């Protein structure tokens, strides 16, 4: 593969991928930032930047929903969703976070952005044995200004039907103690034909020491190394 492109989660800088880039070295690594205020515009922006050669797309958290649209482009040879899912919200037949909770958080971002940012930081590290250390480590990687709440609307999208349009290898890596995306989705994602790996720890999967070896094994098995 000629490139590896990593897309960050909402409100977090792309530097969060530096440990993964070091543990899984490749000459074509890139980590892209958010640049738009609407999810549809962000998809269009990232799609326009895709290289013409073949590569692998890694998307963490919110960006995973958008990456399913990017995966339609033929140069994307494989997609890895890190602590992400084609459907984040709970339905009668699908585990997830209640849509009302996302909407309440979105409202909080508008009226009390500082407290919302603190809560979001805590949720990302929640469940890890080193949660306090991870919160301190993550804090300087948060955007200095409020990132567009409108981007979070993508968490209410249901992209499960879009999977039928994709014919590339897709790996979903979930975190066992994730406080944002329930690990209970694992068997449901497998029923959709996706490969799923569950690693210990919190939503902050880009920092998991188990992530790089798991990805290296999966890429080798699919001829992507």
Catalytic residues: 61, 178, 203
Buried b (16+ CB within 10 A) or exposed e, 111-130: eeeeebbeebbeebbbbbee
Whole-angstrom Cα distance, residue 192 to residue 73? Answer: 21
Residue 76 and residue 55 in contact, taking contact as beta carbons nearer than 8 Å: yes
For residue 14, what is the DSSP state? Answer: G
Whole-angstrom Cα distance, residue 33 to residue 39? Answer: 13
Task: Give the containing element (helix H, strand E) for 59.
Answer: strand 55-60
Residue 143, both tokens: 């955007």
Whole-angstrom Cα distance, residue 177 to residue 142? Answer: 21
Going by C-alpha positions, the residue among 69, 82, 84, 87 that lies closest to residue 166 is 69
Name residue, tokens 């301190």.
136
Residue 214, both tokens: 């798991």
């Amino acid at each position: 593969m000629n490139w590896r492109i990593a897309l960050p989660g909402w409100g977090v800088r792309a530097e969060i991928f530096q440990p993964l880039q070091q543990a899984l070295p490749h000459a074509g690594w890139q980590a892209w930032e958010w640049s738009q205020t609407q999810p549809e515009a962000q998809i269009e922006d990232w799609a326009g930047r895709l290289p013409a050669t073949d590569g692998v797309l890694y998307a963490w958290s919110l960006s995973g929903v958008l990456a399913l649209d990017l995966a339609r482009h033929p140069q994307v040879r494989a997609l890895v969703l890190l602590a992400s899912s084609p459907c984040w919200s709970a339905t009668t037949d699908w585990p997830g976070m209640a849509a009302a909770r996302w909407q309440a958080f979105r409202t909080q971002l508008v009226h009390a952005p500082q407290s919302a940012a603190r809560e979001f930081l805590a949720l990302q590290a929640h469940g890890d044995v080193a949660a306090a250390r991870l919160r301190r480590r993550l804090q300087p990687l948060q955007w200095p200004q409020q990132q567009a709440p409108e981007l979070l609307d993508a968490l209410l999208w249901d992209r499960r039907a879009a999977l039928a349009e994709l014919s590339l290898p897709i790996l979903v890596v979930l975190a066992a103690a994730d406080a944002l995306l329930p690990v209970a989705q694992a068997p449901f994602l497998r029923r959709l034909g996706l490969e799923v790996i569950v690693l210990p720890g919190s939503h902050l999967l880009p920092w998991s020491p188990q992530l790089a070896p798991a990805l290296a094994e999966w890429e080798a098995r699919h001829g992507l190394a």
